[in-house]
Amino acid sequence: MSEKTTAEKPATAQATKATLQYDGKSYDLPVHVGTEGERAIDISKLRTSSGLITLDNGYGNTGACQSSITFIDGERGILRYRGYPIEELAERSTFLEVAYLLIQGELPSKTQLESFTQETTIHTMLHEDFSRFFGSLPKDAHPMPSCAAAVGALATFYQANESDEEVRRSVIRLLAKLPTIAARSYKHSLGQPQIYPSNNLDYCSNFLRMMFAVPCEPYHVDPLVARALDVLMILHADHEQNCSTSTVRMVGSSRANLYASISAGISALWGSLHGGANQEVIEMLEQIAASEGSAEKFLTRAKDKNDTTRLMGFGHRVYKSYDPRAAILKKLCPGILARMGGSSQLLDIAMKLEEIALRDEYFVSRGLYPNVDFYSGVIYKAIGIPVNMFTVMFALGRLPGWIAHWLEMRKDPQFRIGRPRQIYQGATKRTYVAMDQRS
């Protein structure tokens, strides 16, 4: 039986409309049902018929689009890319295979993967004029804004017009060049010469070499480390309408080009409540280790509403159970630590925090479990990735997801520029007061 025929049957449609009663009037609203049975009331025409808008701070319960890329069931801890469970992809596929799946919609055949890999490999080099670009950045620049700026700058090197062929080439260029940009940002921050890509290496090995090799010295990539990185990137590759992906869609909805949209996504990912959390998790673990403070003491602060401390790497807008990505990473940690010969102190602290939190009423009642960032930093640190590169690693992994969403949005027949409404709560009309009469 072929893989495709194993797909489960889509859920059958249920009620196709909902009725809203307001101010003595009744409004029929269409209901859309997804293939996994999720239901949404379509309020897109509600304002025209009733003058009402909907209000949903942080878009916690608002569907912004219909998408066929990634399915998450936060209650049951399920994550699937194009129908394939994340556990199977992490175990059996490679990052470039997953990138192809997300972008093209199907797993590649052997020939398709070879040609995709070949194309991605031959575009890894950056234009030499990028030397001046990096040279103009401060030495201590954080690599995240350096990457966001460099990706935006790609649009100045390449004509990012709207034709399908040009977009296809932009997709390949981004996948090929982001690891080079990321490693270059890091080398720049060290004041070391850049290491050019080596196109006889696979995607992750090439990146590791550009990060850690020094000129004129042999560098050996440990296949176990390269594979761990590949798995990490697969786990980060997409997560439906998260903050950075929604940003990519929002920016792209104005018909901004792919480079500009991805650059905006990188900036959105940087924040500590999103991708920046992986850096904050390791800093939190190191802080606990350095102060010889106990996990219990830290959790007391994280629960205190008068203290801004949060248990970083815990909680998620969508998952109200264990994030399946965190479960895979937790299992990966001991093997990597054993191979690298480093201390397991931070992993021990993380596991202790998790153990106590999952027995604590505060975390249990709010459905707060480890998310993908809780264990990823332990692995990054063990394989020598510097802490300020952690969020860049997240961006490298998330790139195919951003691209897939940007492409899906462009082809969506329902496509419209993103433009939310608001409820205005400011001053009502008042008359201008001259400067000398203001109190």
Q: Does 354 bind ligand CMC (CB under 6 A)?
A: no
Q: How far is the CB of 298 from ligand CMC (least distance, A)?
A: 10
Stretch that binds ligand CMC, among 157-165, 185-193, 312-320, 401-409 (CB under 6 A): 312-320
Stretch that binds ligand CMC, among 207-215, 226-234, 283-291, 366-374 (CB under 6 A): 366-374
Q: How far is the CB of 377 from ligand CMC (least distance, A)?
A: 11
Closest residue to ligand CMC, based on beta-carbon distance = 315
Q: How far is the CB of 330 from ligand CMC (least distance, A)?
A: 15
DSSP state for residue 431 in the 8-state scheme: -
Q: Does 299 bind ligand CMC (CB under 6 A)?
A: no
Q: How far is the CB of 189 from ligand CMC (least distance, A)?
A: 23
Q: Does 284 bind ligand CMC (CB under 6 A)?
A: no
Q: Does 123 bind ligand CMC (CB under 6 A)?
A: no
User: Which one of the listed residues 236, 316, 323, 405 is annotated catalytic?
Assistant: 316
373 is catalytic: yes
Contact present, 39 and 32 (Cβ < 8 Å): yes
Contact present, 81 and 69 (Cβ < 8 Å): yes
Q: Residue 399's Cα: distance from chain center in Å?
A: 8
Q: Does 320 bind ligand CMC (CB under 6 A)?
A: no
User: Which one of the listed residues 373, 405, 412, 436 is annotated catalytic?
Assistant: 373
Q: How far is the CB of 244 from ligand CMC (least distance, A)?
A: 8
Distances (CA, A) of 213 to 22, 126, 179, 186, 221: 66, 18, 14, 12, 9
- Find the binding residues for ligand CMC in span 238-257 (CB under 6 A): 239, 242
Q: How far is the CB of 286 from ligand CMC (least distance, A)?
A: 16
Rounded-to-integer distance, Cα 380 and Cα 5, Å: 38
Q: Does 314 bind ligand CMC (CB under 6 A)?
A: yes
Q: Phi and psi of 55, rounded to 5°?
A: -125, 130
Q: Is 64 exposed, middle or buried (0-12, 13-18, 19+ CB in 10 A)?
A: middle
316 is catalytic: yes
Q: Does 310 bind ligand CMC (CB under 6 A)?
A: yes
Q: How many residues bind ligand CMC (CB under 6 A)?
A: 21
Q: How far is the CB of 373 from ligand CMC (least distance, A)?
A: 5
Rounded-to-integer distance, Cα 292 and Cα 226, Å: 33
Cα 239–Cα 282–Cα 261 angle in degrees, nearest 5: 35
Distances (CA, A) of 159 to 62, 79, 173, 263: 35, 36, 12, 16
Q: Does 126 bind ligand CMC (CB under 6 A)?
A: no
Both tokens of 72, joined, read 């998450």
Stretch that binds ligand CMC, among 77-85, 252-260, 282-290, 368-376 (CB under 6 A): 368-376
Contact present, 353 and 311 (Cβ < 8 Å): yes
List the one residue from 274, 320, 352, 410 that touches ligand CMC (CB under 6 A).
274
Q: Does 372 bind ligand CMC (CB under 6 A)?
A: yes
Both tokens of 110, joined, read 């052997």
Q: Is 124 left (phi over 0), alpha (psi -120 to 50) or beta?
A: alpha
In this complex, which beta carbon is closest to ligand CMC, that of residue 179 or of residue 313?
313
End-to-end CA, the chain: 80
Residue among 44, 39, 36, 40 at smallest CA distance from 9: 36
Q: Does 169 bind ligand CMC (CB under 6 A)?
A: no
Q: Does 273 bind ligand CMC (CB under 6 A)?
A: yes
Task: Calculate the dihedral angle through the C-alpha atoms of 360, 361, 364, 370, rounding to the nearest 10 degrees.
Answer: -30
User: What are the catalytic residues?
Assistant: 316, 373
Binding site for ligand CMC (CB under 6 A): 58, 239, 242, 273-275, 277, 302, 310-317, 366, 368, 371-373
